[in-house]
């Protein structure tokens, strides 16, 4: 993490995490009265997205730590639960929705961890199956380089039996968690793409080989795994390159240890196009065969998506016939024409994912 500016909200000056981060970064810091001043500084820069990746704000999460995934209207949602640990990311992917989601985009780490712990305790007391992840508004593992706390979350989840934690990343920041007693209640997951896309569109991320080697190391320590091919970019020759990624994936890890694999093609709000064109001059990803979907996002033409998904699924099924594959935000027609059923046939997508987590992670049945 190349943090050049550190801002500390006065309200959190005495928090233990703040002192640890300040010591580790060893750069000058500015004490502020609330985050608005940082928002102003970032917004006034020539490239707010770029500036936001180098300025870290340590502050409180004054809202809810536990949130429902916002989902997308009229598309099948997985009913994911978000653990809101921070915002934005130091890596720089051309397609990243966070570039246009936050106004302005500010790298924030919430340091009121006692409140976060209390929120988790409240959730755990419900004795209800839940899939909880930290990777919705940030990468789950970027923070490990300045304030390692994934191990504490893993230990927290290891002591209960109804919820699983998913840590999703494009990094290889796993050294602090390899020896943790996780009780298989944490899933380590990686976003994957072709080597061409990683090199051209995912600046500052770990290579494909590095991600898969990290996954193999975590598997050797007993962690269940998951993988997310999302967003997949359609371009000439992409099917063969995605097939190569799939073959490499299963040469590194066992399909029996994979809880799920998600698929999703590139989709974006129209406002993102201008940002990509400005910040990634050589990128061509926004010039595909797109139409506006039911959620107002630009999506590849549906017949193109269906044909592409059919090929990708066939490659996975050849090597892992029993692994759970699901779509992130697709409709019934896509499901039926590619996988052969609609999730409602099996009680809904959340039920399918819960069942897979139960098998792989040993979740207990709901009490309430």
pLDDT reading at 367 higher than 70: no
Residue 232: inside a domain: yes
Residue 4 lies in a domain: no
Burial of 101 (0-12, 13-18, 19+ CB in 10 A): middle
The share of the chain scoring above pLDDT 90, in percent, equals: 90
What per-residue confidence (pLDDT) applies to 255? 98
- Out of 44-53, 66-75, 162-171, give the one with best mean pLDDT: 162-171
If you average pLDDT over residues 128-137, what whole number do you get? 94
Please measure the distance between the N-terminal and C-terminal CA atoms of the chain and give it in whole angstroms: 43
**Residue 265 maps to a domain:** yes
Write the DSSP string, 248-313.
HHHHHS-GGGEEEEEEEE-EE-THHHHHHHHH-TT--GGGSSEEE-TTS-EEE-HHHHHHHHHHHH
Predicted confidence at residue 20, as pLDDT, reads 95
User: Would you place residue 95 in the very low, low, confident or very high pLDDT band (cuts 50, 70, 90)?
Assistant: very high
Task: Specify if 11 maps to a domain.
Answer: no
**For residues 221-227, average pLDDT:** 98
| Short-list 149, 131, 23, 29, CA closest to 85 | 149
The answer to whether residue 53 is domain-embedded is: no
In this structure, is residue 260 part of a structural domain? yes
Q: Say if residues 187 and 361 touch (Cβ distance below 8 Å).
A: yes
Alpha-carbon distances, residue 88 vs 49, 69, 150, 289, 307 (angstroms):
9, 16, 17, 28, 33
DSSP H or E stretch at residue 158: helix 150-158
pLDDT tens digits for range 14-67: 999 999 999 999 999 999 998 888 999 999 999 999 999 999 999 999 999 999
* Average pLDDT along the chain: 95
Torsion of CA 281, 284, 289, 293, to 10 degrees: -60
| Mean pLDDT along residues 96-113 | 90
When mean pLDDT is compared across 31-40, 63-72, 86-95, 283-292, the lowest value belongs to 63-72
Specify the number of domains making up the chain.
1
Residues 107-122 have pLDDT tens digits of 999 999 999 999 999 9
For residue 45, tell me if it sits in a domain.
no
pTM of the model: 0.96
Burial 215-235 (b: 16+ CB within 10 A, else e): bebbbeeebbbbbbbbbbbbe
| 246 lies in some domain | yes
d(C-alpha 348, C-alpha 45), whole Å = 45
For 336-349, the pLDDT digits (tens) are: 999 999 999 999 99
Mean pLDDT of 220-245: 98
Q: What is the CATH number of the domain that holds 224?
A: 3.80.30.30
Domain around 140: 60-104+111-361
């Amino acid at each position: 993490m190349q943090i050049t500016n550190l801002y500390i909200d006065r309200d959190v000056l005495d928090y233990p995490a703040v002192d640890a981060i300040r010591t580790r970064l060893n750069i000058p810091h500015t004490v502020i009265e609330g985050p608005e001043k940082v928002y102003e500084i970032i917004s006034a820069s020539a490239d707010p997205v770029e500036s936001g990746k180098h300025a870290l704000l340590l502050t409180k999460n004054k809202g809810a730590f536990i949130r429902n995934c916002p989902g997308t209207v009229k598309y099948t949602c997985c009913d994911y639960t978000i653990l809101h640990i921070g915002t934005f990311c130091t890596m720089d992917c051309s397609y990243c929705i966070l570039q246009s989601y936050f106004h302005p985009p500010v790298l924030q780490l919430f340091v009121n961890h006692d409140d976060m712990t209390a929120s988790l305790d409240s959730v755990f007391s419900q004795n209800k199956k839940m899939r909880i992840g930290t990777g919705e508004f940030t990468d789950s593992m970027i923070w490990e380089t300045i304030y390692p706390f994934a191990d504490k979350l893993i230990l927290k989840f290891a002591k209960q039996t109804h919820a699983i934690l998913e840590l999703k990343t494009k990094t290889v920041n796993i050294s602090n968690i390899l020896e943790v007693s996780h009780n298989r209640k944490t899933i380590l997951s990686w976003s994957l793409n072709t080597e061409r896309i990683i090199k051209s569109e995912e600046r500052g991320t770990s290579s494909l080989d590095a991600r898969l080697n990290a996954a193999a190391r975590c598997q050797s320590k007993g962690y269940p795994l998951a993988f997310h091919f999302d967003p997949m970019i359609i371009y000439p020759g992409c099917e063969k390159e995605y097939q190569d990624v799939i073959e490499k994936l299963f040469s590194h890890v066992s399909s029996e240890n994979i809880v799920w694999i998600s698929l999703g093609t590139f989709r974006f709000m129209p406002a993102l196009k201008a940002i990509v064109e400005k910040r990634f001059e050589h990128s061509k990803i926004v010039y595909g065969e797109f139409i506006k979907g039911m959620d107002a996002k630009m999506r590849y033409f549906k017949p193109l998506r269906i044909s592409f998904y059919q090929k990708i699924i066939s490659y996975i099924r050849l090597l892992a016939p029993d692994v759970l594959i699901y779509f992130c935000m697709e409709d019934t027609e896509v499901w039926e024409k590619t996988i052969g059923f609609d999730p409602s046939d099996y009680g809904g997508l959340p039920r399918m994912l819960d069942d897979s987590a139960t098998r792989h992670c040993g979740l207990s049945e709901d009490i309430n």
